[in-house]
A and B are shown apart, each in its own frame.
Chain A
Amino acid sequence: MLDAATPGTDKPRKLVEITDLKMHFPIRSGLLRRHTGDIKAVDGVTFDIYEGETLGLVGESGCGKSTCGRAILRLYEVTGGSVVIEGRDIAALGPEELRKTRPTMQMVFQDPQASLNPRMTVADIIGEPLNEHTTLSSKEKLARIYELMDQVGLNRAFANRYPHEFSGGQRQRIGIARALALNPKFIVCDEPIAALDVSIQAQVVNLLEDLQDKLGLTYLFISHDLSMVRHIADRVAVMYLGRIVELSPRDDLYEDPLHPYAKALLSAVPEPDPAHEAVRQRIILQGDVPSPANPPKGCNFCTRCPEVQPLCHQQDPDLIEVRPGRYVACHFVKPEKPTAGSTGGIEAKERNQQGERR
């Protein structure tokens, strides 16, 4: 680890580079199950994730945010595009190489009830990745399992219990411990708190933040909870119908959203403050999200956009940098002025090939 001596370095490098990622699911119909169309769940998504940051990925259900997260880890065979993690294109790796790459990237799932095998004990669940990817002796394995349980705040005495004996928040801790088992660098958190009660959500979010500080993790935090994303993320990408419509640093997005959808989405979130709620001007979007099998021509958002113009029905806007570090896909959000020399954020200086710590 060359740069291990400079934690919290102020020249972050790109850990994950996603270019024009596409994930289409075929629609088959008729007696012969002929391929009659595609659900374009993720349709050309480009963004980078810097080392040590938390990138929030927000959007409404069906916008493709979870599919995007899964495609990045190649839990699906992607339709197109590339996902480069630490210099290797995950989307193009062969099965054996992919398997060897798995330890660097892990996932925490939404529903801890469904993502933990009910017939395995906690120790088995947390130890399974160790069996698969390491050659530790059973004694070493147990020591590692205990260490992980300590890290996520689970009592070691519960190592031989089954998932159903735990509460939702504790189950999510088991899922986190399993994700941490192989010392990953990059974790996709897919709605990790959506199934939990408010008072438990804060516990899990604090744990995720502590672990990030301690282990230097990089998160892609997928959520529909915009308030929680404001708390945890450094930068936030807003998705709509398979596309990113805005990608901005957190404070810029929440203080001054630029894309009409981002504006509407933020204005729709109710705030726990009656005085504020009474005077707040809401942008109420009309209608529903169109089907990703049949997205509208032109801009994806043109069917609901309050600021729609004729151009939007014809031409699809690109995601361009309109302010330093802020990317928006809208014909009518123009770059403020061409900033000389800016190439959009912080460039990687060196590339660290080392993947594992142990």
Chain B
Amino acid sequence: MPDGAAPVLDVRDLKTVFRTRGGEVHAVNSVSFDLRPGELLGVVGESGSGKSVTMMSLIGLLPSPPAEVRDGEVILQGRDILRASPEELRTIRGAKIGFIFQDPMTSLNPVFTVGNQIMEPLRVHLGMTKAQAEVRAAELLDLVGIPDAKRRLKDYPHQFSGGMRQRVMIAIALACDPAVLIADEPTTALDVTIQAQILELVKELRKKLGMAIVWITHDLGVIAGIADRVMVMYGGQVVEQATVKELFGNPRHPYTRALLKTVPSLSGGRASRLQVIEGQPPILTSDPTACPFRMRCAYAFDRCARENPRRRPVGPGHDVACHWDPEPAHA
């Protein structure tokens, strides 16, 4: 993928707040990132780090109230979709941006056949006739590796296994040939051997179709195998962003470093004790004026409590939001 190409998706200073009875929750704080054509951007973070909310905010999928996208812009192919009307958004969702959710059982409608659900975006967005849509739907099921595709169009979601359902979800997301595919923990609910099948499928589809993908996960192993670039989120903010090699080889943020150390590995040395990140993730009730990681950070100093660090470049394509200046890990 060409490095200098214009991004398909450009997100600037996105801010999302939830209004609750207990006050405001600042779920997403000034998140910026871009996505280049054909690229796979991995988004890593723990639950509550804001990774899903960021992506839902992009395409207006959050219920409002309580959610409110307060600030920022989201440029998709040169157009700010944050300011698009609901009607316009509807033509974008599913057509230009495809979405794959974590749990394929709850995101498929149990009372419609799988064929019906794949044909829906084809007919709505592309204006296909029923016959055309049926042919295309069968092609799509075949593309995602479901055998006997034509016959299975008539089946209902419960007649598919978990892995197969996720393949159906991918088929729906790909139906209109979107420029951007957002996959929110698509393999988390699956078993490892099924996850391996899906990851293999996604790699193949990328080669064939070349869409840009945002892949949200908490599994660093999945990211290592599939992503080109990685964005690490913590407490509603992007704390580090780098190419996959750079991030795993030379992590700069204390959180990224700790995260990489806390996960046991399948090969190599076995630590007698796991490294621990002490404490709990932050509760994002106040406007972030300090570093969200400072309470759990081994390197925190007085400036971290006074000032929320901005992202600063530390290498080519590598930036980090931290006041502390570490030595490179591989020195």
- Which segment of A69-77, A110-118, A227-235 sits at the interface? A227-235
Q: Any chain A CB within 8 A of the CB of B91?
A: no
Are the C-beta atoms of B224 and A230 separated by less than 8 Å? no
Q: Any chain B CB within 8 A of the CB of A206?
A: yes
Q: Any chain A CB within 8 A of the CB of B289?
A: no
Q: Any chain A CB within 8 A of the CB of B317?
A: no
Are the C-beta atoms of A198 and B245 separated by less than 8 Å? no
Query: 1/0 per residue B205-221: CB within 8 Å of A?
Result: 00000000000001111
Residues of A within 8 A of B266 (CB): 226-227, 230, 254, 266, 269, 271
Are the C-beta atoms of B264 and A231 separated by less than 8 Å? yes
Q: Any chain B CB within 8 A of the CB of A199?
A: yes
Q: Which residue of B lies closest to A227 (CB)?
A: B264
Are the C-beta atoms of A269 and B192 separated by less than 8 Å? yes
Dominant secondary structure at the A interface: helix
Q: Any chain B CB within 8 A of the CB of A288?
A: yes
Give which listed residue, A203, A228, A265, A272, contacts B220 with CB less than 8 A.
A272
Given known contacts A264-B193, A288-B194, A269 and B221 CB-to-CB distance under 8 angstroms = yes
Q: Any chain A CB within 8 A of the CB of B161?
A: yes
Are the C-beta atoms of B197 and A277 separated by less than 8 Å? no
Q: Any chain B CB within 8 A of the CB of A9?
A: no
Are the C-beta atoms of A198 and B259 separated by less than 8 Å? yes
Are the C-beta atoms of A206 and B274 separated by less than 8 Å? yes
Are the C-beta atoms of A197 and B46 separated by less than 8 Å? yes
Q: Which residue of A lies closest to B264 (CB)?
A: A231
Q: Which residue of B lies closest to A288 (CB)?
A: B161
Q: Any chain B CB within 8 A of the CB of A285?
A: yes
Residues of B within 8 A of A228 (CB): 264
- Which segment of B25-33, B106-114, B132-140, B276-284 sits at the interface? B276-284
Q: Which residue of B lies closest to A285 (CB)?
A: B193
Compute how far the CA of A169 lies from the CA of B47 in the bound complex, rounded to whole angstroms. Answer: 13
Q: Any chain B CB within 8 A of the CB of A275?
A: yes
Give which listed residue, B47, B191, B249, B274, contacts A61 with CB less than 8 A.
B191
Given known contacts A270-B221, A277-B224, A202 and B161 CB-to-CB distance under 8 angstroms = no
Residues of B within 8 A of A167 (CB): 280
Q: Any chain A CB within 8 A of the CB of B262?
A: yes
Give which listed residue, A60, A227, A273, contacts B193 with CB less than 8 A.
A60
Residues of A within 8 A of B271 (CB): 231
Are the C-beta atoms of A268 and B224 separated by less than 8 Å? no
Within 8 A of B (CB), among A57-106: 60-61
Residues of A within 8 A of B280 (CB): 167, 169, 200
Query: 1/0 per residue A242-283: CB within 8 Å of B?
Result: 000000000000100000000011111111111111101010
Are the C-beta atoms of A231 and B274 separated by less than 8 Å? yes
Residues of B within 8 A of A203 (CB): 276, 278
Task: Kindly provide the distance from the CB of A222 to the nearest chain B CB, expressed in whole angstroms.
Answer: 14
Given known contacts A254-B267, A272-B224, A284 and B47 CB-to-CB distance under 8 angstroms = no
Residues of A within 8 A of B92 (CB): none
Q: Which residue of B lies closest to A266 (CB)?
A: B266
Are the C-beta atoms of B273 and A209 separated by less than 8 Å? yes
Residues of A within 8 A of B249 (CB): 274-275
Are the C-beta atoms of B277 and A270 separated by less than 8 Å? no
Give which listed residue, A202, A272, A278, contacts B221 with CB less than 8 A.
A272
Q: Any chain B CB within 8 A of the CB of A333?
A: no
Task: Kindly provide the distance from the CB of B227 to the nearest chain A CB, expressed in whole angstroms.
Answer: 8
Are the C-beta atoms of A199 and B258 separated by less than 8 Å? yes
Are the C-beta atoms of A273 and B248 separated by less than 8 Å? yes
Q: Any chain B CB within 8 A of the CB of A313?
A: no
Q: Which of A202, A206, A266 has the most CB of B within 10 A?
A: A202
Q: Which residue of B lies closest to A255 (CB)?
A: B267
Q: Any chain B CB within 8 A of the CB of A224?
A: yes
Are the C-beta atoms of B193 and A272 separated by less than 8 Å? no
Residues of A within 8 A of B270 (CB): 230-231
Residues of A within 8 A of B221 (CB): 227, 269-272, 277
Q: Any chain A CB within 8 A of the CB of B222?
A: yes
Residues of B within 8 A of A293 (CB): none
The 10 closest A-B pairs by CB, nearest first: A270-B221, A60-B191, A277-B225, A268-B196, A272-B220, A231-B264, A202-B274, A199-B277, A197-B46, A268-B192
21 residue pairs bridging A and B, Cβ less than 8 Å apart: A60-B194, A198-B46, A199-B46, A199-B259, A199-B262, A202-B277, A206-B276, A224-B192, A227-B221, A228-B264, A254-B267, A264-B193, A270-B195, A270-B219, A270-B224, A271-B224, A272-B265, A273-B248, A273-B265, A284-B196, A284-B200
List chain B positions with a Cβ less than 8 A from chain A: 46-47, 161, 163-164, 191-197, 199-200, 218-225, 244-245, 248-249, 258-260, 262-267, 270-271, 273-278, 280-281
- Other A-B contacts than A198-B259, A269-B221, 11 sampled, CB-CB below 8 A, are A60-B191, A167-B280, A200-B280, A202-B276, A226-B266, A227-B264, A231-B271, A231-B274, A272-B224, A274-B248, A284-B193
